[in-house]
Amino acid sequence: MNDTFLKACRGEKVDYTPVWLMRQAGRYLPEYQAVRSGVDFLTLCKTPELAATVTLQPVDILGVDAAILFSDILVLVEAMGMRLEFSEKKGPQLSEPIRNRSLAERLAVPDPEDDLSYVLETIRILRGRLNVPLIGFSGAPFTLATYMIEGEGSKSFVNTKKMMFSSPALFAYLMDKITDSVISYLKAQIMAGAQAVQIFDSWAGVLSPEDYRLFAVPYVKRAVAELKNEGVPVIYFVNGCAGILKDIRKSGADVIGIDWRVDIGEAIKKLGKKFSVQGNLDPTALFLPEEKLRERVGDILSKAEAARGHIFNLGHGILPETPVEGAKALVRAVHELSSP
Ligand code: CP3
């Protein structure tokens, strides 16, 4: 078993820098498209044998040092009681967005063994087939709340912020319920065999630092504290982290995932020695010619030597247009340039 990734999460000495890519299973891979052409996205998530197959694809094709469970952050929201659809054109759609107390009260804290059993089954299948660690995941409470309140993706997050500002008690009630759900979901994933978990805060970067401190990080902190006893590393990824790195420390996570809009050396200075870091290549760098890509990889690797531990990753998910050769070249470059 290749445990380089887990060692880097814990800040232990490694022979080379481990690498995996956010959204590494997905549309840029013809092998994913072949599976996906026969089923819709949610059916793929809910069919453990197929979800396991596409989870394994990037491990075999790219040679990454960790696998991430194939699923979506929004299946938890569906299990809480909202109706979820993925539209090819508009992305995720949730009917009856949560805009008042009675809708929030109707939401359940799901029992993962019942309502998300297909996720746990996928994890069990994968643990029998993998020779790299398996990462489980959840959306962070704030990011999940934005989908639940907006009903879909958003640019301004106006409904979310309206609730935060004009009905703070309702917002807190909703966030507490989401946080309870995230905790029990991640604990169940760990029980089923996930060897690390990542909490995706894809939209926390739209908050002012003050609002992030009030409305987002306290809930992540509670979730991480509850997960500490489970004995696996917790990675906390915030897209748009640059202005809130000091506050992100309060999450207490073992590893902080950072996007590419911040210099990784600067980020490490602000985070300090208590955390490992994960990141942070611009996903579009995979379109560069190989020598240029290698220069950027080398730059990130040398700056990240200052960190307690470093897991190489993109600064956000791999884009569907990405050439597979670019992703392969990245993994090769990280392994070669970080080896003594
Ligand atoms: O990383 C992996 O390989 C594991 C799989 C994974 C998916 N979604 C598969 C997916 C993970 C970890 C996610 C997380 C996720 N989902 C996030 C957080 C990470 C991030 O990117 O910020 C968010 C915000 C979502 C919600 C979501 N799911 C959106 C907005 C969309 C539509 C946009 C898009 O990329 O298509 C999805 C769909 C989705 N999730 C796809 C995949 C492979 C594409 C579905 C398809 O095959 O058509």
Total residue count of the chain as it appears in this document: 340
Q: Which of 147, 185, 212, 219 is catalytic?
A: 147
Atom of ligand 1 nearest to the CA of 45: 9
The two three-digit tokens of residue 324, written as one number = 């597979």
Domain assignments of the chain as residue spans, ordered by start: 4-338
Task: Name which residue sits closest to atom 24 of ligand 1, judged by CA.
Answer: 202
pLDDT at 340: 87
Q: What 3-state class would DSSP assign to 200?
A: strand
Instruction: Establish whether residue 23 lines the binding site of ligand 1, counting it when its CB lies within 6 angstroms of any ligand atom.
Output: yes
Per-residue pLDDT of the chain in tens (340 residues, 90 and over written 9)? 999 999 999 999 999 999 999 999 999 999 999 999 999 999 999 999 999 999 999 999 999 999 999 999 999 999 999 999 999 899 999 999 999 999 999 999 999 999 999 999 999 999 999 999 999 999 999 999 999 999 999 999 999 999 999 999 999 999 999 999 999 999 999 999 999 999 999 999 999 999 999 999 999 999 999 999 999 999 999 999 999 999 999 999 999 999 999 999 999 999 999 999 999 999 999 999 999 999 999 999 999 999 999 999 999 999 999 999 999 999 999 999 999 8
303, 309, 314, 318 alpha-carbon torsion, rounded to 10° = 160
Tens of pLDDT, residue by residue over 184-235, are: 999 999 999 999 999 999 999 999 999 999 999 999 999 999 999 999 999 9
Contact 271, 217 (CB under 8 A): no
Which of 43, 72, 126, 185 maximizes ligand 1 atoms within 8 Å of its Cβ, making it the mutation to test the pocket? 72
Instruction: Establish whether residue 70 lines the binding site of ligand 1, counting it when its CB lies within 6 angstroms of any ligand atom.
Output: yes
**Cβ-Cβ contacts under 8 Å for 72 (sequence gap 6 or more):** 41, 42, 45, 92
Distance CA 68, CA 24 (A): 8
Distance CA 186, CA 202 (A): 18
Task: Name which residue sits closest to atom 23 of ligand 1, judged by CA.
Answer: 73
Distance CA 306, CA 309 (A): 8
Instruction: Establish whether residue 74 lines the binding site of ligand 1, counting it when its CB lies within 6 angstroms of any ligand atom.
Output: yes
Please, where are the H alpha helices in the chain? 4-10, 30-36, 41-46, 48-62, 75-79, 101-106, 112-115, 117-127, 141-150, 158-166, 168-192, 209-215, 217-227, 245-248, 264-271, 290-303, 324-338
Q: How far is the CA of 269 from the centre of ligand 1 (A)?
A: 31
Tens of pLDDT, residue by residue over 121-136, are: 999 999 999 999 999 9
Residue 11 backbone zone (phi > 0: left; psi -120 to 50: alpha; other: beta) = left
Distance CA 326, CA 296 (A): 13
Q: How far is the CA of 72 from the centre of ligand 1 (A)?
A: 6
Q: How far is the CA of 12 from the centre of ligand 1 (A)?
A: 31
Contact 198, 237 (CB under 8 A): yes
User: Is the domain 4-338 a CATH 3.90.100.10 member?
Assistant: no
